[in-house]
Structure 1
Amino acid sequence: MFDKKTVSIEWGGQTLTLETGQVARQADGAVMATLGETVVLCAVTAAKSVKEGQDFFPLTVHYQEKFSAAGRIPGGFFKRERGATEKETLTSRLIDRPIRPLFPEGFYNEINVICQVLSYDGENEPDILAMVAASAALTISGVPFMGPIGAARVGYVDGEYVLNPTNEQVAEGDLDLVVAATGNAVMMVESEAKELSEEVMLGAVQFAHKACKQAAGAIIDLAEQAAKDPWEMAEQADLSAAKDKLKKLIGKDIAAAYKVTDKSKRSGLLNDARAKAKEAFADATPQDQMAAMKLVKKLEAEIVRGAILKDGTRIDGRSTTQIRPIEAMVHFLPRAHGSALFTRGETQAICTTTLGTKDAEQMIDGLDGLSYSNFMLHYNFPPYSVGEVGRFGAPGRREVGHGKLAWRALHPVLPSKDEFPYTIRVLSDITESNGSSSMATVCGGSLSMMDAGVPLKRPVSGIAMGLILEGKDFAILSDILGDEDHLGDMDFKVAGTSEGITTMQMDIKVAGITDEIMRVALEQAKEGRAHILGEMSKALGETRTELSAHAPRIETMQIDKSKIRDVIGTGGKVIREIVATTGAKVDIDDEGIIKVSSSDVSQIEAAMNWIKGIVEEAEVGKIYNGKVVNLVDFGAFVNFMGGKDGLVHVSEIKNERVEKVSDVLSEGQEVKVKVLEIDQRGKVRLSMRVVDQETGEELEDTRPAREPRERGERGDREGGRGGDRRREGGRGGDRDRGPRRDRGDRNDRPRGERSEAKDEGGETIGLPAFLTGGNDD
């Protein structure tokens, strides 16, 4: 029934399988890719005709993770997959970027590329598999795709490159790099690195390229079995005459416009030239008018690119290695925990850093289950930043991608949670843009975190590099302008510290670049990054040692795991009481690590003292601050150490006789007490009389060695258990206790000597002997 075609290769120690003909047979091309037990289906459909008046290529890539692939049900109220998550958006861009340049110029048919994760084994990441499946589906679909491409992820563990590493290997290693490439050249690079050298990064790209060739070879084998007939492309009209006409008409105007350094003035002159061209073709058909305007863009590119290759002259007059003027400011906003204004030429970003507690962490629900991130970077690109009117609202794919690039650049230099137990949010608002705003975000974000007191390992700077390639001639441009990005052949962003690279991203608009070009670009970028770091240090050379007065303070303490339930209490009663009473936030994890946070240090101290009182054991002989919580006839119960109660017997309140406890003490009164004894059941006996209630210093016990007791003292005895001196024959004594009396002897003693207490009605109250001061010997 099925005409199934399959190709398998050994790839990175596992079997990569590509198959078609069984699933999604009505799509123009559909491929199921399997690696381990991870399976991704990619289906490609293409419109057979072009919409009238369309002058762009409408390629749309959708990547979706099915929760059933990992045996999970989506969390939240809606139990189905809904809008794209950040990871799905980023992976969609990861697939789109290397395949888009491989469609021929003038091909404007709408294409949908839909990749769905059907099975996930927890080890083999589906994003790489989706890239391979998308390339394979396009290759067999018959659409004019100049592929195939392969894709690979590379890790760097213990000085060795690892192909398609597991999540654990990525976490343990120093690199997470994704490369897409044809058999001849690299098309796309995306990475996060822990300050690696240019040599190591270039080696990783070369290592990945070899793996990409293997995957591309498997796709070619599949296409030989299952590819559909290629589409017939319409012949392109000869536009040489129209091009010559435009060159004579506006060539000099365009050349003059690109010698103006101010972006607004240059844009105005270019718009005048375009209007002149449009007027010259006013009587032509709509198709010819559209073609003429595309020729204007080509003419602009030729003029700019020719000037750069011929004599190294750039649009704004800089040399190929020169970086625009930089101005950086910190503490730009008074209430933000950390802020910076970073300006490079006509690109500007306001970056702020906000510090929060653990409950501010971002919860992420994905195929691997729930996870939490304590570092967020959000990038916003309002239309006014380029002087335009446009949509303003939720971030689009571009904003998500640029923000993640800056996140990757800064993430490797962050302190660990143990070193800095804060949730960090960096917000970048682009206020001007003519060049790389994502790299401005890296620089401004680094400064804003340093301003907030985040102990970064080192400051991070970033730079965007460009490429002009004509045959074998090429020029690498440092710190490219927006127009150089549009008219050039490469967008190559590199960020890092003085010690090495933390992220590298490359997108190519031509059919790939050579190792030589990449090596030159990396070395030139290194020089540029060093220059930018020097300019940043003029604003702030190192992290501030003090946090902002408006930032929360977090103190951490470790308790024994067995005490966790005591701090939380039944149903969370205790921890809620601590929070409500002190005003501080309290977080506790399963390992017994407690984080107490507040912008008020006194609140933190109160909460921590309360918790210490719950988990710490009282020490005999130590003096504590306490509060009277209950008065009884025979003494007062005092709460101390936050969560412990003990009894101050009436004989231990003062050195002189106390007739009535309420004459001396009242509930809520602050007192200082010394721990005299803790019995086997944990009951605590306290004394006030041996502590100076003003200073808290211990006093010498001046009570006489022994005083005769009066009848009715309920067994009180000076020098009993509550005294500091050792009582002859007491529990700690060494004397021979002698023969034990019969049980009936106890009843023969005078009533006043029995270790009993009576209530007002004369009924016996069963109290431990030490609470009454009596002795059962």
Structure 2
Amino acid sequence: MQEVNLLFLNSQEKYTLDTFAQSASGSVYYQQGNNVLLATVTIDTDTIVEEDFLPLTVQYIEKAYAAGKFPGGYVKREAKPSDFETLSARIVDRSLRPLFPKDYCYPTQITILVLSVEPDADLQILALNAASVALFVSEIPINIPVSAVRIGRINEKFIVNPNAKELEQSTLDLFVSGANEDLLMIEMRSFGGIKAKEDSHSLPLANEILEDQLHYFSANEANEETILEALELAQEMIAQKNQLISQHFSPFIKKAIVLKEGRTSFVCDKIESYIRQNYLEELRAVIYLLSKTERNSKLNAFVKKILQEWREQNPEDTECLKERVLETTLRLKKEIVRTMILKEGKRADGRRFDEIRPISIQTNILPNAHSSALFTRGQTQALVVATLGGDMDAQSYELLTDKCSSKERFMVHYNFPPFCVGEANSISAPGRRELGHGNLAKRALESSLVEGKFKTIRLVSEILESNGSSSMATICGGSLALAAAGVPCTNLIAGIAMGLVCEGEEYVILTDIMGLEDHDGDMDFKIAGSKNGITAMQMDIKLGGLNTKILKAVLLQAKEARMRVLEIMEEAKSKIVLNESVLPTSQVFSIHPSKIVEVIGQGGKTIKEIIEKFEVAIDLNRDNGEVSLSGKNRQKVDAAKEYILGIANKEKEGRINPWDLYKVGDIYVGKIKKIVEFGVFIELPQGYDGLLHISKVINRGEGKISDYLNIDDEIKVEVLSVNKNKVELDWIRE
């Protein structure tokens, strides 16, 4: 048994190597306090992947028994991974993928099992710690350790690796991973924002927010200087941790496997020379095409043309000819794109390095949706649709470290159908990429929300066309969709994707990258925020790492671009016309908690009648007496509020109770105000409504109430009973 103990940031970590899961290429049984994870690395050396991609798969799996729990749901066995498991696997994958040798071609699986967990554990940090060491000591020729830290900020002070309670108080959540001193991956979001005052009964629309109606808890954006300070601290901590890993684990690294030449390079010097001499300018012209679809079509036609000519001129050369022509052309394309940027100072679409593509915005184009925004930037187009609801519409979920289930009240769902990139495939279930992009957009937007007006908000982003930065288009469109739905927000949020082309000491930073620059460039850095600062970031890099000098330049250039996008968005916001006919309205107010039971009524009869009568959704909080109403008709929502307040305040206000006005046996002529599934509401003298139950109108199975009675009919009724706030009636037929 090989054991290594590390002390880092006053946290004792114990690594047991190659004792558990000994058949794996590398395995680590990792323990920190009562948290235990098992990370394994396995390699299929008998299979060679010919395609030009790294065949790496990362699985992060939480076992319910780790927290002494049963799996939630009907089937008591772990099955489909949760969103948190999927997103955590992506974090590990994105941190470790850049380390693999360029021509590595063996299918490789990294599996992380959570076996025991404490309530305040940061499982994403622990998972990367375990997986990184398992990879470091495995047979894969990677001798560079990777580690990660999370940076929080409480009372203007940075906290390294905050626990769950500290993170709840933090205004910053910055997750950074790196190798040696270089940064590999960044995930960032800001917390805080604005909440409604507890005594506020309702909130105005987004363009009507007043300072005295809001309560500021903390700043919800981080400026570039703060981010850079946090990243420098993270870099320092990562360097210290990686040095410890190198010192303690280098003796246990296994003999590296010999990488076969398996993945054949089909680049052909003769074909490359032929294209350079005869068709280099034609290939450059293809790259300069503005349309992504047209560029791909012309590139395919170019490959077919070269293939045909080569066959005619070299009939004896047939071995893997198609593959050689294609791969040679693609390598030349990449070289042209990078040379064009680094040496000629040009981009394929003619833009300056700091220039954003043309933007157009349309709002509320879907007449029956609560709100919608069509955001188009260049050849990337996102249709973002908002739906507003009550507490019952929230998504329930359960985390391993939580004692009970929670509710997600702000959801961003990102869809990337194949037709958006011209592919003739059917739409399938969302994958890791869709979940990751939706989560990024959610993190960017949620800190701008003002709590209190709507209990549940769902944004759905349909990517209709994609040529880079579709997640950033989702953020821009999502912020406008919130405004177009009348959702109170502190600021508009815009997103911009930054790129990098780097050769040695020479580099160029690109603003608003398109697909070509993402594919052939070295970095995809997504930055979102308001005019006041950054709300979310995500960085992936294809280089070995990124230094803070370049990082600072990227942040400043992104800020300039974000401000330009926000100006365009502000102009579009000023022209928004709300979908008043379909847009729901809401009221949030409080009554004494002891009165909640009266609003519910015996067996839920009172609340059911309120829902039917006023056509509203009602959420009640028994603990604090909060009442949330929502409905499509503002007048009915207001009336339901007054009705509930009447129930709650009848004793305090000296309100006349129905039993003081009506007696059993009294006969009245009343007007029919509303017909519902279970009966008819009749307006009585003295201002109360009585209920004529369906059984008093028709016998079961003998038609509908509307066959006998209509709205505004006047009928004679007799009082059958008076109970609290209800009057039950019988129909006197003449």
- TM-score over 0.5 for the alignment? yes
Task: Confirm whether residue 241 of structure 1 aligns to residue 269 of structure 2.
Answer: yes
- Equivalent residue, structure 1, for 2:726: none
Structure 2 CA distance for aligned equivalents of residues 331 and 166 of structure 1: 42
| Pairwise CA distance, 1:286 | 6.2
Task: Map 1:597-612; keep pairs closer than 5 Å.
Answer: 597-612=630-645
- Equivalent residue, structure 2, for 1:38: 35
Percent of residue pairs bearing the same amino acid type: 37
Classify the secondary structure of the residue corresponding to 2:57: strand
1:55–1:290 CA contact under 8 A, matched in 2? no
Structure 2 CA distance for aligned equivalents of residues 339 and 311 of structure 1: 41
Task: Confirm whether residue 615 of structure 1 aligns to residue 648 of structure 2.
Answer: yes
Task: Confirm whether residue 27 of structure 1 aligns to residue 32 of structure 2.
Answer: no
Task: Confirm whether residue 397 of structure 1 aligns to residue 432 of structure 2.
Answer: yes
Which residue identity lines up with residue 139 of structure 1 in the other structure? F
Instruction: Mark the CA change 1:145 to 1:329 in structure 2 (over 3 Å): closer, same or farther.
Output: same
Which residue identity lines up with residue 169 of structure 1 in the other structure? E
Which residue identity lines up with residue 346 of structure 1 in the other structure? Q
Classify the secondary structure of the residue corresponding to 1:445: helix
Instruction: Mark the CA change 1:298 to 1:574 in structure 2 (over 3 Å): closer, same or farther.
Output: same
Classify the secondary structure of the residue corresponding to 1:671: helix
| Pairwise CA distance, 1:224 | 2.3
Match of 2:525 among 492, 506, 520: 492
Match of 2:477 among 419, 434, 444: 444
Task: Confirm whether residue 113 of structure 1 aligns to residue 110 of structure 2.
Answer: yes
Gaps of 5+ in 2: 191-219, 669-681, 689-734
Once the two structures are overlaid, the 10-residue window that deviates more, 220-229 or 198-207, is 220-229
Classify the secondary structure of the residue corresponding to 1:335: coil
Which residue identity lines up with residue 115 of structure 2 in the other structure? L
| Pairwise CA distance, 1:581 | 4.3
Task: Confirm whether residue 219 of structure 1 aligns to residue 245 of structure 2.
Answer: yes
Which residue identity lines up with residue 264 of structure 1 in the other structure? T
Structure 1 CA distance for aligned equivalents of residues 447 and 392 of structure 2: 23
Instruction: Mark the CA change 1:292 to 1:8 in structure 2 (over 3 Å): closer, same or farther.
Output: farther
- Equivalent residue, structure 2, for 1:265: 294
- Equivalent residue, structure 1, for 2:188: 191
- Of the two structures, which has the highest relative contact order with CA contacts closer than 8 Å and spacing of 6 or more? 2
Once the two structures are overlaid, the 10-residue window that deviates more, 160-169 or 318-327, is 160-169
1:701-734 per-residue CA deviation (whole Å, 9 max, x = no partner) reads xxxxxxxxxxxxxxxxxxxxxxxxxxxxxxxxxx
2:139–2:253 CA contact under 8 A, matched in 1? yes
Once the two structures are overlaid, the 10-residue window that deviates more, 207-216 or 584-593, is 207-216
2:3–2:14 CA contact under 8 A, matched in 1? no
Task: Confirm whether residue 560 of structure 1 aligns to residue 592 of structure 2.
Answer: yes
Task: Confirm whether residue 378 of structure 1 aligns to residue 413 of structure 2.
Answer: yes
Classify the secondary structure of the residue corresponding to 1:41: strand
Instruction: Mark the CA change 1:622 to 1:94 in structure 2 (over 3 Å): closer, same or farther.
Output: closer
Instruction: Mark the CA change 1:237 to 1:401 in structure 2 (over 3 Å): closer, same or farther.
Output: closer
- Equivalent residue, structure 2, for 1:169: 166
Which residue identity lines up with residue 296 of structure 2 in the other structure? S
Task: Map 1:701-740; keep pairs closer than 5 Å.
Answer: none
Task: Map 1:524-563; keep pairs closer than 5 Å.
Answer: 524-541=557-574, 548-563=580-595
- Equivalent residue, structure 2, for 1:230: 256
2:454–2:487 CA contact under 8 A, matched in 1? no
Instruction: Mark the CA change 1:222 to 1:142 in structure 2 (over 3 Å): closer, same or farther.
Output: farther
Instruction: Mark the CA change 1:512 to 1:636 in structure 2 (over 3 Å): closer, same or farther.
Output: same
1:277–1:293 CA contact under 8 A, matched in 2? no
- Equivalent residue, structure 2, for 1:88: 85
Q: Which has the larger radius of gyration?
A: 1
1:411-465 per-residue CA deviation (whole Å, 9 max, x = no partner) reads 110112x3x2331111111111112000011111111110110111001111111
| Pairwise CA distance, 1:64 | 1.2
2:49–2:107 CA contact under 8 A, matched in 1? no
| Pairwise CA distance, 1:256 | 2.1
- Equivalent residue, structure 2, for 1:766: none
1:30–1:43 CA contact under 8 A, matched in 2? yes
Once the two structures are overlaid, the 10-residue window that deviates more, 370-379 or 290-299, is 290-299
1:226-277 per-residue CA deviation (whole Å, 9 max, x = no partner) reads 2211111235989673544554464333222122223233222221232345
Classify the secondary structure of the residue corresponding to 2:500: strand
Structure 2 CA distance for aligned equivalents of residues 672 and 93 of structure 1: 62
Classify the secondary structure of the residue corresponding to 1:169: helix
CA RMSD in angstroms, aligned pairs only? 2.7
Task: Map 1:343-362; keep pairs closer than 5 Å.
Answer: 343-362=376-395
Gaps of 5+ in 1: 638-666, 674-777
Tell me the number of residue pairs that the alignment of Structure 1 and Structure 2 aligns: 636
Structure 2 CA distance for aligned equivalents of residues 455 and 620 of structure 1: 33
Instruction: Mark the CA change 1:596 to 1:302 in structure 2 (over 3 Å): closer, same or farther.
Output: same
1:498–1:530 CA contact under 8 A, matched in 2? yes
Task: Map 1:213-362; keep pairs closer than 5 Å.
Answer: 213-234=239-260, 241-242=269-270, 243-248=272-277, 250-279=279-308, 280=310, 290=323, 293-362=326-395
1:467–1:489 CA contact under 8 A, matched in 2? yes
- Equivalent residue, structure 2, for 1:702: none
Task: Map 1:584-599; keep pairs closer than 5 Å.
Answer: 584-589=616-621, 590-599=623-632
- Equivalent residue, structure 1, for 2:550: 517
| Pairwise CA distance, 1:534 | 1.0
TM-score of the two chains, using structure 2 as the length reference: 0.81
Structure 2 CA distance for aligned equivalents of residues 237 and 581 of structure 1: 73
1:374-422 per-residue CA deviation (whole Å, 9 max, x = no partner) reads 1001111111111121241211111111111111111110112x3x233
- Equivalent residue, structure 2, for 1:457: 490
Which residue identity lines up with residue 449 of structure 1 in the other structure? L
Structure 2 CA distance for aligned equivalents of residues 459 and 604 of structure 1: 28
Classify the secondary structure of the residue corresponding to 2:637: helix
